[in-house]
Every structure is written in C-alpha cells, then in structure tokens.
Chains A and B, each alone.
Chain A
C-alpha cells in the first residue's frame, strides 16, 4: 500500500469502524430492551422512519414508524414500554458492515443491510423483516448521532406485529 493510499484509506477505515461501533451499540440497546437509550442515538431533530420499500419506490410518505425529533422518539419509547400489549418475545437485529457513500466535515452518508428476527414462546424463530438502513450521521462532540435513519424494508408482509423500532 502506498503512502498516498494509506492517507486516503485512513479516515475511511476509521469512519467505517466508528459506524460499525455505532450500529453495534444501537442494535444491542434495542435487542437488550434498553429502549430509553434509543432516542439518544439521534440528534434533537433527528428523523427516524421505518418504510416499506413499496412506498419508498412509489414516493409515498406513509411509514410504519415515523418519528420527527427526539421527543417523538421518546413518545414511541413510552408506548413500547408502557402502553403496548404484546406477547413476550426476543428480537434480534443483524446489521451488515456499513457502506460509506460520502463523508465530509459535517456529515457521513452510509448504508447497511439489516435483518430482524424474533423468537416467541412455543414457536420457531422467524424473520420479521429484511431491509436497509439509509443513514445520515453527524458528529456532536465525541459522539456520532443519526440526523436521519431511514429503514427501508423489502418484506411486504410483517408477520403479525412489529412491537419495537428496528
């Protein structure tokens, strides 16, 4: 590897490792039911959407989850923790290596595939959805935060219910 290549790869690799770490922490927080931590992965005005690919392709605005800003994310957390009636289950997220599409001083644009599987009592483990995170990430101090995390899922039909954010 030439010196020139190293200097280019350096920040790219560093960024990718930082994103892998971000994705791993994000998935673990939700997998472990630490829902209160979820909004803290976003900027105050961060946008989270969970959108069927069908709507994304047709340019239609309806999402299965749609949270504009940290307060709306917190309201979703309250619902997940306090108001939703759901059968007990384990949900686990598998996020692939992030692909960095662009990065400059203020923003990283990246994508990663995601697979969500669930395990319910008396049932075999099954896939809830498969899709892709479309992320816009910004740096605030030492932390990387999602300015936008759009999960576009291929799955046409969700099996029964999706009781947590992806």
Chain B
C-alpha cells in the first residue's frame, strides 16, 4: 500500500515515525497517539469512507420532523426523521459557505435555515430555497446555469438496525450486518433485540487523551481485574469468572463477555490482592440489585464497534458510549443511557441507580478516565517508545478468558491495514 504509506512524508522516515516497529501488533508506537498527520488520516480512513459510525438511537427521533445533532469522527452531522418516516444523516455544513447551520441540539422542524444567508434545507438535507437567487430588479443573483438540483448538505449513507442508527460517508459501504459479521451481530442483537428503546439520559465528558486509548480500554479485560477496585470487590468483573474475548474476522470489532462467578478463588485473589478489598460491603445493596434480563449466563457484554462506539451492557445499565475525537489529544465521550419502552418503573429505577457506576463521576469509569489521561501524559513526550501488547500471546484469535490483550492486537491489525502503516 505504497500510496497510503506515511514514510517519506513530513520527515517521518528520518525519525522512524510512520514506520511501525518490529513485532507487528504486539507493539504500538506511541506516535500514533499524538501525531497530527495520523489524526488527519484517521478522519479519512477510520471514521470517513465505508465505515459505519454510530450517530443516534431511533428513540431520539421518533416523529416526523425530529432531529438531533451528532458526529462522525470530528465531523458534525444532523440526524433527522423525515415525513415519510425515513432516517437521514447529512453534514451539518451549509452547501453555500460551510456554516454549521443546525445550531440546536435537538428539536422538531420541517425546514432548516442557515442563519447566514438564509439558504433552507428540507429534512433530507436538500437545498429548497435560496434568497435573491434571481437577484433583485434584474441585478445580481445566481447565474442562469445555477440549479438547485442535487444541491444540499453532503448526505451520508444510513443503516438502521433494531433502533440504532449508523452512518457512513461512503455510499457503497457494505451492509451493516456484513460489516459487523455474524458473531458480533449476535452480541449486538442480544441488547438490540427489536424491542423499542427508551432514552433515559445523557452524560458527557471530554477526556484529555487520544480516542484510541478509550477503545483499547474496552478491549482490555486485563485492566478491569486489577484497576477497578469497585468492580473487583463487588464481584462484578473478575479474572476467576468465566469469560471470553471475541472479535469479528477483521479484528476491528470486539466483545468482552463476563459471567458472574461465585466467591473468588485463592489464586485469582492472590494476583488481585493489591486491590481486592474483602472487607467492603455495600451499605445500601439497592445500588447493585441486579435483575437478569437476557438469555444465557453473561452478565456483562461490552462491545466495541469500529470505529466510534462502545455498547455497554454492565448488569442493568445500558449505554451507547459515542466517541468524538477532538484532535489527537482529546475526545468527547458522549453517553446515551437507555432502557426498553416496556421497562417497569422498578427496572428504570434499577438502571438509574446502577448508572452510578458509569459516566464522568462513575464509581468504576472514573478510574478509566483518570488513567487514560495519565496514559496520554506518559505517551506524548516519548513518541519513539512503544507499548507492549503481549498478554495472552502474540496471536489474534478469540480467547476463552480475560488475561489477554488480544482484542487490542485485533484492533491494530485492522488499523494498520486501513491506515497503511
């Protein structure tokens, strides 16, 4: 892939940057987390093109005319429901001079009007009107050859599956189902089983680290059993539980699956002893009053869908974690918590209580947002160093346990390919 190679560009060859270190996916060079050129190329090759990006839930736009703003990579888009019930996604960037014309976060309208020169758009993002298009008293205006036909905010391809909306800039993207592959589609359909969803709320944070570190975090079950004292202590996620790490054939999507075990066994407890606190118990057990809601014995499935979303099913707390990169050194993590439209009030209450574990103040997730910033702080000044990713071996294959970084290797195996690295 000579065309996509970074070697020789911007002096990369001289500094050895742009050349992936020996060791393949068992090594990750630190410059991928800070380089501006890498960031720019990610917008084109990882988030752009034929990649299905999560943008919204259908439950956010139930009625004709409903819209929400969203993001594909760092590019602003608008997600709408048109009068015929169809879902549309188009660039939030005026076809005239580029203004991000949709300035409300959500709402209902039959027309968007760019405030700058009042160009108007329908719910499919097509330009429907231009003031003074014919000029005034015969003077000015657009030329006779100027047509509204085909003019509009750049439209994205849209895929909707069981209430979840994905968009791709490339209209020849493969079918979403093929993009996920049969195994990952199975985990997707486990949560999105066709029941109507209900949005329960939003939490947002801006984390000062490269977006890939967040994805790696959810592909890395190794850390969960040592970093997250809360999870470990209350038996929500531990090495001695039956568990698995699975991927699609490309390695780009992954799932961590955990099954709630009995008491910690001696060997696992010894390894986790730094952080295992057997003396703790919850004073109010309602925080973890967990109800089984899916067939099978998995209690936690954390699914990463390339390139921009984590589907979180941690006991009864369900959320889409939408990543929006903000340059190489920061990304927004936008959490959309949801349940099902037919949830009982008790189940909704359970989801609200368990949400204490998640978000910017989460009993568990704070550990992650903090350690991710510390990662960025330690990586950026050492661009020529590299990460060691050898837990669980050097291969990229599903693992029936959690002591592995295989899904990170899977991610970089695909990343290297699309980035030409």
Contacts and interface: CB of A to CB of B under 8 A. Distances in A.
B199 to A, nearest CB: 7
A157 B367 contact: no
Nearest to A166: B361
Contact of B370 (A64, A75, A82, A85): A85
Given A63-B355, A66-B356, A163-B366, A157 B204 contact: yes
Contacts of B146: none
A79 B361 CA distance: 11
Given A72-B284, A83-B277, A161 B204 contact: no
A54 B204 CA distance: 10
Interface in B281-328: 282-284, 286-287
Given A83-B229, A84-B366, A161-B366, A64 B203 contact: yes
A162 B206 CA distance: 11
A69 to B, nearest CB: 6
Given A157-B206, A159-B206, A161-B361, A61 B201 contact: yes
B359 interface: yes
A84 B367 contact: yes
Given A85-B229, A157-B206, A162-B366, A62 B356 contact: no
A162 B367 CA distance: 11
A75 B206 contact: no
A64 B319 CA distance: 13
B230 A83 contact: yes
B359 to A, nearest CB: 5
Interface residues of A, number: 36
Interface in A25-64: 50, 52, 54-55, 58, 60-64
B289 to A, nearest CB: 12
B353 interface: yes
A85 B370 CA distance: 7
A12 B335 CA distance: 42
Dominant secondary structure of chain A at its interface with chain B: mixed
A142 to B, nearest CB: 26
Contacts of A157: 204-206, 332
Contacts of B371: 85
A24 B370 CA distance: 29
B360 A75 contact: no
A52 B204 contact: yes
Nearest to A59: B201
Contacts, number: 122
A126 to B, nearest CB: 11
Instruction: Specify which of A85, A86, A159, A162 lies most central, judged by the most chain B CB atoms within 10 Å of its CB.
Output: A85
A158 B370 CA distance: 12
A8 interface: no
A115 to B, nearest CB: 17
Contact of A55 (B202, B284, B286, B332): B202
Nearest to A86: B370
Contact of A160 (B208, B227, B280): B208
B202 A78 contact: no
B207 interface: yes
A61 B349 CA distance: 9
A68 interface: yes
A9 interface: no
Given A69-B284, A85-B227, A85-B367, A158 B352 contact: no
Interface in A75-100: 75-76, 78-79, 82-87
A18 interface: no
B397 interface: no
B202 A66 contact: no
A71 interface: yes
Contacts of A54: 105, 202
B366 A87 contact: no
A50 B361 contact: yes
In order of increasing CB-CB distance, the 7 nearest A-B pairs are: A62-B201, A71-B284, A60-B201, A158-B360, A83-B229, A162-B361, A71-B283
Given A52-B204, A69-B284, A79-B363, 16 more contacts: A54-B202, A58-B201, A62-B201, A63-B352, A68-B284, A74-B283, A83-B229, A87-B373, A87-B374, A157-B332, A158-B204, A158-B361, A159-B208, A160-B370, A161-B361, A162-B360
Interface of B: 105, 199-208, 227, 229-230, 233, 277, 280, 282-284, 286-287, 332, 337, 348, 351-353, 355-356, 359-361, 363, 366-367, 369-371, 373-374
Interface of A: 50, 52, 54-55, 58, 60-69, 71-72, 74-76, 78-79, 82-87, 156-163
